[in-house]
Amino acid sequence: MKLLIANGYLIDPSQGVNGGKDLLIEDGRVVGLPNRSDAAPEDTEVFDATGLVIAPGFIDLHVHLREPGQEYKETIATGAAAAVAGGWTTICAMPNTDPVNDSPAVTRFVIEQSERAHLANVFPIGALTKGSAGKELSEMGEMKNAGIVAVSDDGRPVPTAAMMRRAMEYARGFDLTVVDHCQDPSLSAGAVMHEGRWSVILGLKGMPAAAEEVDAIRDCILARLTGARAHLAHVSTRGALDAVRQAKEIGLRVTCEVAPHHWTLTDEAVSEYDTNAKMNPPLRSPDHVGALLEGLRDGTVDAIATDHAPHHSDEKALEFDQAPFGITGLETAVGLAFDLVHQGVINLQRLVELCSINPARVFSLADRGTLRPNAWGDVTILDPDFQWTFDAARSRSKSRNTPFNKRSFQGAAVASIVKGQIVYLHPEFARISESKHTAGSAK
């Protein structure tokens, strides 16, 4: 099984490659970047990537797949289908399922289901504490042997500094990154949106930026104390980002991710009480959004992660106060990232870094996020100018809770390749690529 991706523009920050290059994959692994003048080896499938960008397969560090326990919202198979349709060849699944992934049995179940679906790679994240209850540390070593790539109690903030310290000390022994949803519950209890002008106007209880920042600074201090690897999930405030920037300056092993909705929308989106504008952390005010754009540009932000959080429409149809937090995001993230490129916030190479080599480093995912020889043949193929409109009704996800329905984009992932196999090809692109091919052969 050989696949040659020919005539494209290849960006691989891990090798400093940024130019016209072909890519050869055999038996699921990268062979290398052959010379264009060389004839394709025999029995090779050729993917014509004329006009397209070839990048290491994109890695999403933060998704919620709902299986086991809430399969009516999403299954591992439907989540993986949405992932590859959005350009993500690898997704990391948070443990807040039912049961919680705090055991090797659940870890193995998630991996087996993803292998059955045969779409994206799905890497489970194990719970930090048993049942994510914040009381007793989980069996991190056993779960690591079963296949987890990090530990987190995402959605259930670790309640005390003492518990986080112990978790970091324990995780460090297994070289596991600790992922924290930074939020001090004593500052955020009962809140449903960002605390600011709009929460006052709408009469909704707000959570202050400080709720996130207090925990972000706590985690940086504890990363210094323990030497652990700490990754701050979905950073949404200026102060949390400043904490990460300072931690990096003094050499701590602290990283962070930002979610597309946090740099795209502000808390004004809540003004119609649209529950698809309700997520946690909440949409923030323009000053915080400006800080995120700065962090994406200057390198403080390590990764783009979706925080894909599917919910059933009946649940999202509740009143704003009652509806659950979270939106889907796998199929719109790359389009929203291209907005940053077209607006001049970041260039295309930085987009690729934020979605491939950097997330691979954050969780130490060996042979991913790179197209070096012998790396896994995971590839995301991008068309920076592709014009398209997102139709939630046609989403691969089981859920439709998105604020980006009917939004138009310039730029998309048009194909996803996992271990050398094309697991997704955009239908519109398939037509164009065929007509290109026909035009070529007619000459």
Q: How far is the CB of 339 from Zn ion (least distance, A)?
A: 23
Residue nearest to Zn ion (CB): 181
Q: How far is the CB of 305 from Zn ion (least distance, A)?
A: 10
Q: How far is the CB of 273 from Zn ion (least distance, A)?
A: 22
Based on CB atoms, which residue is closest to Zn ion, 101 or 370?
101
- Tokens 């005539």 locate to 7
Based on CB atoms, which residue is closest to Zn ion, 168 or 309?
309
Q: Which stretch binds Zn ion (CB under 5 A): 18-26, 135-143, 180-188, 290-298?
A: 180-188
| Cis bond upstream, residue 310 (ω within 30) | no
Q: Whose CA is closest to 216, among 273, 254, 249?
A: 254
The C-alpha atoms of residue 348 and residue 331 are separated, in whole angstroms, by 19
Based on CB atoms, which residue is closest to Zn ion, 232 or 418?
232
Q: How far is the CB of 193 from Zn ion (least distance, A)?
A: 16
The C-alpha atoms of residue 436 and residue 427 are separated, in whole angstroms, by 14
Token output for 79: 């989540």
Q: Which stretch binds Zn ion (CB under 5 A): 42-50, 178-186, 243-251, 376-384?
A: 178-186
The C-alpha atoms of residue 71 and residue 23 are separated, in whole angstroms, by 38
Q: How far is the CB of 234 from Zn ion (least distance, A)?
A: 6
Active site positions, annotated:
307
Q: Would you count residue 154 as binding Zn ion (CB under 5 A)?
A: yes
3-class secondary-structure state, position 90:
strand
Over 170-210, what HEC string results?
HHHHCCCEEEECCCCHHHHCCCCEECCHHHHHHCCCEECHH
How many alpha carbons fall within 13 Å on the CB side of residue 249? 7
Q: Are 240 and 232 in contact (CB under 8 A)?
A: yes
Based on CB atoms, which residue is closest to Zn ion, 158 or 357?
158
| Cis bond upstream, residue 185 (ω within 30) | no
Based on CB atoms, which residue is closest to Zn ion, 235 or 413?
235
Q: Which stretch binds Zn ion (CB under 5 A): 68-76, 96-104, 150-158, 328-336?
A: 150-158
The C-alpha atoms of residue 4 and residue 41 are separated, in whole angstroms, by 9
| Cis bond upstream, residue 324 (ω within 30) | no
The C-alpha atoms of residue 92 and residue 114 are separated, in whole angstroms, by 11
Question: Sign of dihedral through CA atoms 433, 434, 435, 440?
Answer: positive
Token output for 11: 């960006």
Chain residues 60-89 in contact with Zn ion, contact rule CB under 5 A: none
Based on CB atoms, which residue is closest to Zn ion, 237 or 380?
237
Q: How far is the CB of 253 from Zn ion (least distance, A)?
A: 20
Distances (CA, A) of 124 to 74, 91, 238, 270, 416: 15, 8, 29, 32, 20
Q: Which stretch binds Zn ion (CB under 5 A): 134-142, 173-181, 247-255, 408-416?
A: 173-181
How big is the site for Zn ion, counted in residues (CB under 5 A)? 2
Q: Binding marks (x or -) toward Zn ion, 108..147, rule CB under 5 A?
A: ----------------------------------------
Based on CB atoms, which residue is closest to Zn ion, 12 or 195?
195
Q: Which stretch binds Zn ion (CB under 5 A): 82-90, 151-159, 330-338, 419-427?
A: 151-159
Based on CB atoms, which residue is closest to Zn ion, 315 or 367?
315
Q: How far is the CB of 233 from Zn ion (least distance, A)?
A: 5
Q: How far is the CB of 155 from Zn ion (least distance, A)?
A: 5
Q: Which stretch binds Zn ion (CB under 5 A): 21-29, 103-111, 175-183, 198-206?
A: 175-183
Q: What are phi and psi of 233, to 5 degrees?
A: -75, 155
According to CB under 5 A, which one of 181, 311, 316, 350 is a site residue for Zn ion? 181
CA 312 to chain CA centroid, nearest Å: 21
**Which residues form the interface with Zn ion (CB under 5 A)?**
154, 181
